[in-house]
Amino acid sequence: MTLGQVLLVAVLVVPALGAVAVAATPRDRAARIVGTVAAALTLLAAVPLVFGGRGWFAWSAGTPAVRPWHQVDLPWVPGLALRFHLGVDGISWPLVVLTALLTLLCCAYTVWRVPGGGNGRALVALLLVVEVGILGTFLALDLVLFFLFFEVVLLPMYAIIAGWGGADRRRAARKFALYTLFGSVLLLVGVYVVVAAAGTADVVALTGGGGLSRGTQLAAFTLLALAFAVKSPLWPLHSWLPDAHTQAPTVGSVVLAGVLLKMGTYGLIRVAVGVAPEGARWAAPVLGVLAVAAILVGSLVCLAQSEVKRLIAYSSVGHMGFVLLGVATLTATGIQAALIGNVAHGVITGLLFFLAGAVKDRTGTGTLAELSGLRETAPRLAGLLAFGAIASLGLPGLAGFWGEAFAVVAAIQVGGPLWTTLGVLAAVGGALTAAYFLRLLRQVTHGRPSPAVSPVGAGLAGAELTAWAPLVLLALAIGLVPALVLGVAEAPVDALIGVVSR
């Protein structure tokens, strides 16, 4: 085995063993520290995956469109066409690192503060299991394995919401589980529609259509796109998301918004578009219209929200709308926009949920009307919130800008009355995003301190700063140097577009 393969397996094995170790450690605080160490090791294993194996930069006809930097391919269940096939390339690597980073921050945050409801040891163990599932989804190069990891996430996340969430957590958790399972059973059927027709589940061999008939591709794309639309979530299948986010504990919301939703958009790019390009071309207008509807509906609903976590949750619907619009254009610019939009949303919304959690913990309320004047009593917290909100609304120079701007650009570039209209409407949605975030800031940070806000101290805990600083820095770094993401993703995206637009 090469070093790359060892790292690839380690990225999954370390958090899995970490979860076991956490469960086996008797003392609660020690267990949480063990979990944090495991998460840190995972990040250490994920980052170096970028080195080596990249002996190519241009795509040419006749070579497979997916060329992983490192891969592991072992047989597992031949009877179900399931192979343990992992690989990493420029499309998946940024998401892998993001997942490892956010999980580490969440674990570290949990060492400092355990949300009420259960013990912190179990929470950290569950976070690590969720991490295994998400990383596995990003790394899987076998459709059945992809499905398997997609499912692994479901119950641990359910348990996190149901165990450590807010007052209405059970209903929210059940809604999350049922919606998501609805998506993943469609994924199961979609995967085997492809496998039954092609006789293989290997993503590398299947990308580009692999000789699937038009009918199969349309059926497969419909099923897969529906499955990923639930996870992403795409309007009108999004209604599980606000409840889940509002009720989940802070770390749950961060993981949910930061990386869990990305399983949907990543799956759309890698699996749905890659395996059934003809289906993608056929469904692209519908996908584009729904994406723009999500942007507009999400923004309008946000304008009417009165609860801070719910507002951020609905803003995710809008942001993921931009990502999906980028994918729907099926151009290199659009897919690039989707990838950077994915990462930026993970970083910024992760940060925003951390901040919203901090505000709620301090004031005991999340209602916007009761939260005026935070700037007076807690200037640093208010400042960070302003930074997060501005990054999220897409100010140039911060991470949120690239994904939204280039999704619009891609739509305009495609041209034609439909896509031009969609581009314009998406731009209007971007303006609405600015409107509701500014409204949030006006209500929360400005004005006279409300009774709930008055007693809040100005200080921030060291653990909080540790958890937030990397996200703030990343939001700046990606905003200033988008090549951090786009550089590694360029070649694989060109290769993908090469086979998709054939």
Partner 1 sequence: MSVVQSVDSMALLPAYLAAGTAVLVLIVDLVLARPRATVAVAAFGALGTAVGAAVVGAGGERRTFCVGADCSWVFGGRAALVAAVVALLTLGVLGLSVPALRAGRSPVGEYAFLLACSMTGGVVLGAAGDLITLIVALETLTLPLYVLVGLRRGSLASAEAAVTFFVTSVVATTVTLLGAALLYAVTGSLHLDRLGALLAERPELRDLPLTTAAVALLLLGLAFKVAAVPFHAWAPATYDGAPLPVAAYLSTASKLGGLVALLAVVQRALPADQTGPVLALLAVLTMTVGNLVALRQRRTVRLLAWSSVAQAGYILAPLGALALAAGRTGEARSAAYAAAVAYAVFFVVLELAAFAGVTALRPVGADGGTLDDLRGAARRHPWRGAALGLALVGLAGLPPGLAGLFAKVTVVRSLLDGGAAWLALVVALNAVIGLAYYLRVTAALWAPTTAPGAAAPAVPVRGVVAAVLAVATVAAVVLGFAPQLVLDLAAR
154 binds partner 1 (CB under 8 A): yes
370 binds partner 1 (CB under 8 A): no
Q: How many residues are there in the chain?
A: 502
φ/ψ of 83, rounded to 5, equals: -120, 150
* Beta carbon nearer to partner 1, 210 or 350: 210
Among 27, 29, 170, 442, binds partner 1 (CB under 8 A): 170
Among 6, 17, 44, 181, binds partner 1 (CB under 8 A): 181
* Beta carbon nearer to partner 1, 239 or 306: 239
Q: What DSSP string runs through 390-414?
A: HHHTT-TTSTHHHHHHHHHHHHHHH
Using alpha carbons, select from 149, 49, 30 the residue that is nearest to residue 91.
Answer: 49
Among 72, 111, 160, 219, binds partner 1 (CB under 8 A): 219
* Beta carbon nearer to partner 1, 145 or 486: 145
CB of 140 to partner 1, least distance (A): 14
Among 64-72, 179-187, 242-250, 464-472, the segment contacting partner 1 (CB under 8 A) = 179-187
Distances (CA, A) of 294 to 14, 233, 402: 37, 9, 19
φ/ψ of 344, rounded to 5, equals: -65, -45
Tokens of 151: 């499912």
Among 151, 376, 490, 494, binds partner 1 (CB under 8 A): 151
| Number of residues counted as binding partner 1 (CB under 8 A) | 33
* Beta carbon nearer to partner 1, 220 or 398: 220
Among 55, 78, 116, 451, binds partner 1 (CB under 8 A): 78
402 binds partner 1 (CB under 8 A): no
CA atoms within 13 A of residue 170's CA, in its CB half-sphere = 0
Tokens of 118: 């259960």
CB of 222 to partner 1, least distance (A): 11
Using alpha carbons, select from 109, 116, 103 the residue that is nearest to residue 16.
Answer: 103
Q: What DSSP string runs through 2-40?
A: -HHHHHHHHHHHHHHHHHHHHHH--SHHHHHHHHHHHHH
**Distance between CA atoms of 302 and 310, rounded to whole angstroms?**
8
Among 89-97, 144-152, 390-398, 468-476, the segment contacting partner 1 (CB under 8 A) = 144-152
3-state secondary structure of 446: coil
24 binds partner 1 (CB under 8 A): no
476 binds partner 1 (CB under 8 A): no
φ/ψ of 189, rounded to 5, equals: -65, -45
CB of 228 to partner 1, least distance (A): 15
Residues 80-99 that bind partner 1 (CB under 8 A): 80-81
Contact 198, 217 (CB under 8 A): no
Contact 374, 385 (CB under 8 A): yes
Question: Terminus-to-terminus CA distance in the chain, angstroms?
Answer: 36
CB of 367 to partner 1, least distance (A): 27
Among 102-110, 190-198, 332-340, 494-502, the segment contacting partner 1 (CB under 8 A) = 190-198
225 binds partner 1 (CB under 8 A): no
Contact 285, 143 (CB under 8 A): no
**Distance between CA atoms of 364 and 380, rounded to whole angstroms?**
18
Among 33, 166, 174, 303, binds partner 1 (CB under 8 A): 174
CB of 178 to partner 1, least distance (A): 6
59 binds partner 1 (CB under 8 A): no
Cα 140 to chain centroid distance, Å, stands at 16
CB of 215 to partner 1, least distance (A): 11
**Distance between CA atoms of 361 and 452, rounded to whole angstroms?**
11
3-state secondary structure of 237: coil
Q: What is the contact mask toward partner 1 in residues 103 to 142, using x (rule: CB under 8 A)?
A: ------------------------------x---------
**Distance between CA atoms of 31 and 22, rounded to whole angstroms?**
5
**R_g (Cα) of the chain, nearest Å:** 21
249 binds partner 1 (CB under 8 A): no
Among 76-84, 409-417, 423-431, 460-468, the segment contacting partner 1 (CB under 8 A) = 76-84
* Beta carbon nearer to partner 1, 132 or 311: 132
Among 151-159, 266-274, 318-326, 453-461, the segment contacting partner 1 (CB under 8 A) = 151-159
Among 93, 138, 164, 192, binds partner 1 (CB under 8 A): 192
AA identity, residue 118: G
Cα 246 to chain centroid distance, Å, stands at 17
3-state secondary structure of 369: helix
* Beta carbon nearer to partner 1, 76 or 112: 76
Instruction: State the residues that interact with partner 1 by CB under 8 A.
Output: 76-81, 133, 144, 147-148, 151-152, 154-155, 158-159, 162-163, 170, 174, 177-178, 181-182, 185-186, 188-189, 192-193, 195-196, 219
